[in-house]
Chain A
C-alpha cells in the first residue's frame, strides 16, 4: 500500500464513506414537477420549470407574440393569469400560471443607440449575456452586471437584480425609459418626464403591471476591467470589508462555510493588456465542497482542517478583459437562494450571526455565502430604496436538497434590521411586513390597481405578496 492509498483508506475509514454521503438532505421533500402528458397531437405537453426546478406550472398556453400589436391583443383576450417569463432564474413563484405564459423572445436586440447621451434602447427580452457584445460593438457598456448573465433585461430589472459596488446601482437604476403593454392592451411609454408615477413603479414591478417590451439604458463608454480574486483569513476580510468596498470599483466577499479563509473578488477599470479568464473553476470547487460535506458534516473540526489545508496555497487570480467577460461567472451547479438586503451598518452584525448559526446548526451547508453592496435608488419597490448604500447576504442550497429548513433558520436574523428580500429569491415575508419596509408600497399598489384592475397579471403568489384576495 503506497502513501496515497494509505491516506485514502484513512480518510475513508475515518469519515465513514457511504454513511454520511447517503443523507438525501430533504431531497424527498422537494416539490416535483408533474410529468409531461401527451396532447391530442401525440406530442408532449411540457410543464414550465424554473432554473432550479423548484417552481413549476402547467400553463394552458405558451405564447410568443411577434410584435406589440399581437402582444396587445393577447393581453386583452388571453386566459389569465398572464405571466411573462424570462430565463426562469427567479426562485420565487413569480412565473407559475395555469393561464398564459408569455415568452418575450421576439422582443430582443439592440434597437437604437445614442453616443452623445451614451444611451441604448434594447428589447426587454434580450438576455444579459447577449447585451454585452451588442453594446460593446457600439462603444457602450453596462455600468454594472450581476454575477449571472442568463437573465433577460425585463426579468432582471423587474426583480431588482444587481451586481456589487458601493457606487454601482442595480440594473433598474440605469433605466431611463421603458415601454409597457398593459393588461388592457394599452401601450405606455414612461420615463422620469413622461408618466413618471408609472415609471417609478414599473422599473421594479415583478411583471405585475403588464409586459415591458423595451427599455432605454444609461450606459458608460466601453472599457476593460481587471478582476482579482484572492483568499484571506475571514476575520481579516470582515475587519477590512468597508475599506475594500471603498477602494474598489466593485467588491464582494464569499464566506466558505467551515473554512478559516474567505474569498475576495475586486473588479476595477484598467488599461492593462488582455489576460482572459481561464476555464471556470468555481463549479468544480463547489462540488468538491459538497463532497467534503458528504463525508465530514458530522466532524466540523476535521472538515475545517481539510478546507484550510486545501485553500492554504491558493494563488491570487487575475484576469483582464472587456467588461462583459469580467463581471459574470458561469454557474453550472444549480441551487435555490435566499438573499436579504440590509442597511450597510447592519451587514456585519447580521453576517456574524449567519456565520455562527451555520457553523453551530447547519453542518450540512457547503455553498459559499455571498456578501455584496449596492448603491441606493428611488424606484418604488427597489430593495435599495432609501439607502445610500445597501448591503446583501445571499445563501444557497443545492437544488437537489430541501432549502426550506435552512432558509427558515437564517431568515429571522434579518428581521430586526428590517431586511428586504430580493424579489426573485426565496423568503416568507407577508404583505403587511413588506408594506412596513417599503415607504411607497401603497403608491405601487395604487398604480397596479389602475393598470390592472381585474388582476389579470396576478398569479396566486403575487396575490399573496400584494395582499390581494
Chain B
C-alpha cells in the first residue's frame, strides 16, 4: 500500500499537474501509410534527404507525411507560421528542418507535400 501510494504521488506529480510555464513532451504516432513520393523529382530528392528521417518514422514526435488528420490543425495556423516554425525549430524539429540549403519556396512545397495538399 505504501509503495502504491508513493507511485501514485509520482504519477500525479509527473503527469497530471500542469506547470505554470507549461511544456508538452513529444508523443508517439500511430502507423500511417506513407504517401507516394512527390512528382517533382527535385522535391522528392529533397524530401528524401531531409524531412523523411523524422516525418516518416513513428518513433519521433513529428507528424507523419500523409497523415492529413495530424496536419490539418497545423495547416490551419497558416503557412507563414509553419515556415517560421521550420526556420527556427519547433519542439523536436531542428531549425531549418534539417535542410541547410532550402529556400522559402522549398519549405512551402515540402510542407504542402507532407500535409497531403
Provide the bound-state CA to CA distance between A192 and B19, in Å: 57
Please, how many residues of chain B have a CB less than 8 angstroms from a CB on the other chain?
Answer: 47
Tell me, yes or no, whether A304 is within 8 Å of chain B by CB: no
- Contact status B91-A46, CB under 8 Å: no
Interface residues in A90-127 by Cβ distance below 8 A to B read 101, 103, 105, 108, 127
Provide the bound-state CA to CA distance between A108 and B98, in Å: 15
Contacts of A50 in B (CB 8 A): 94-95
Tell which of B10-18, B32-40, B66-74 binds the partner: B10-18
Map CB proximity to A onto B2-22 as digits: 1 under 8 Å, 0 otherwise.
010111111011111101110
Provide the bound-state CA to CA distance between A309 and B10, in Å: 7
The one of B12, B45, B58, B104 that contacts A279, using a Cβ cutoff of 8 Å: B58
- Contact status B95-A287, CB under 8 Å: no
Interface residues in A304-341 by Cβ distance below 8 A to B read 306, 309-310, 312-313, 330, 332-334
Interface range for A = 35 or more
- Contact status A306-B13, CB under 8 Å: yes
Write the chain B residue with the least CB distance to A283: B26
**B25: shortest Cβ distance to chain A, in Å?**
4
**A310: shortest Cβ distance to chain B, in Å?**
4
- Contact status A283-B61, CB under 8 Å: yes
Interface residues in A197-237 by Cβ distance below 8 A to B read none
- Contact status A334-B89, CB under 8 Å: yes
Write the chain B residue with the least CB distance to A14: B13
Since A101-B101, A108-B49, A312-B3 are in contact, a sample of 20 more A-B pairs with Cβ atoms closer than 8 Å, ordered by chain A residue number, is A7-B13, A8-B12, A10-B9, A12-B17, A22-B20, A43-B104, A44-B83, A46-B96, A49-B89, A53-B88, A85-B100, A279-B59, A283-B61, A288-B25, A306-B13, A309-B3, A310-B14, A333-B25, A333-B26, A334-B92
Residues of B within 8 A of A (CB): 3, 5-10, 12-17, 19-21, 23-28, 45-46, 49, 53, 57-61, 83, 87-89, 91-92, 94-96, 98, 100-105
- 8 closest residue pairs by CB, A with B: A332-B92, A49-B95, A287-B25, A279-B28, A18-B20, A103-B101, A21-B19, A310-B10
